[in-house]
Amino acid sequence: MYPEDLVMPMRKELTDAGFKELLNSEDVKAIIAKNETTLIIVNSVCGCAAANARPGAIESLNNSKSPANIATVFAGVDKEATDAARGYMIPFPPSSPCIALFKDGELAHMLERHHIEGRPAELIAENLKNAYNEHC
């Protein structure tokens, strides 16, 4: 587990943009059960989360369509919530960072780490905007 003082700025980047922190399995279950569109980003301390995933996810919200709910779990910190979120992301293997869009409780779109790593935030944002335009 990472120290809280290390991850606080990484959490804050998303929560300042309106992402709800999911801290346990009940939080995850409740947001998925809303049967709306929900974006969940599995946050991470790695460089591709800082340079690509978080900025891309935030930028993606500047779109005419966007998810009804935006949320985050933190891999390596919020183990219970992260495990619960990943359970809804099956058949994709666990990776962090990753970004999943759910529609009516079902996984509709997934960006795994290998889709994020080495790609600019703008490309990630465009990918997500296309998913919002299709599913939201």
User: Over the range 109-120, which residues count as b (16 or more CB within 10 Å of their CB) and which as e?
Assistant: bbbbbebbbebe
Structural domains in the chain, CATH included, are 4-135 (3.40.30.10)
Residue 64 neighbours by CB distance under 10 Å: 8
pLDDT in the model for residue 126: 98
Q: Say how far residue 109 (Cα) sits from the centre of its chain.
A: 11
Catalytic residue, from 46, 58, 71, 77: name it: 46
3-state secondary structure of 71: strand
Catalytic residue, from 7, 40, 41, 48: name it: 48
Phi, psi angles (nearest 5°) of residue 135: -110, -15
Given a cut of 50, the residues of the chain with pLDDT beneath it are none
pTM for the full predicted model = 0.96
pLDDT, one tens digit per residue, over 66-87 is: 999 999 999 999 999 999 999 9
Length of the chain: 136
Active site (annotated) includes residue 46: yes
The beta strand positions in the chain, using DSSP E, are 20-21, 37-43, 69-74, 98-103, 106-111
pLDDT, one tens digit per residue, over 110-126 is: 999 999 999 999 999 99
